[in-house]
Amino acid sequence: MAEITSKVLTNPDSLSQTEKIRYFAYEHIFYDSWETLWVGYQDGLVEEKTWNGWDKWFLREVKHRSILGMEGNIENFDKEFLLYIKKNLEIQ
């Protein structure tokens, strides 16, 4: 996975189809975790203090990741969560 992640950051066009699938699955874990926490917060199941701490971590962490991981999983997001991500990461 480290080799694939390195390719994504240096030369994403060099990824084979199999590597893309692996990378998207890997990144899905990250975004799915964030979305699950976000939904829990929206539903009142996660306290604000807990949400704020985790959300800050996710926002910091995502800056070290390629946008390719999000783009490869975009169809998996709840529309409201996608709007939240785009707003907080200033993505158009």
| Domain coordinates in residue numbering, the chain | 28-89
What value does the mean pLDDT take over residues 68-82?
Answer: 89
Buried b (16+ CB within 10 A) or exposed e, 10-46: eeeeebeeebbeebbeebbebbeebbebbeebeeeeb
pLDDT band per the 50, 70, 90 thresholds, residue 91: low
Confidence (pLDDT) at 92: 47
Q: What is the pTM of this model?
A: 0.85
Q: Are 28 and 76 in contact (CB under 8 A)?
A: yes
Confidence check: pLDDT of 30 > 80: yes
Which residues are CB-neighbours of 29 under 8 A, at least 6 positions away?
A: none
pLDDT band per the 50, 70, 90 thresholds, residue 34: very high
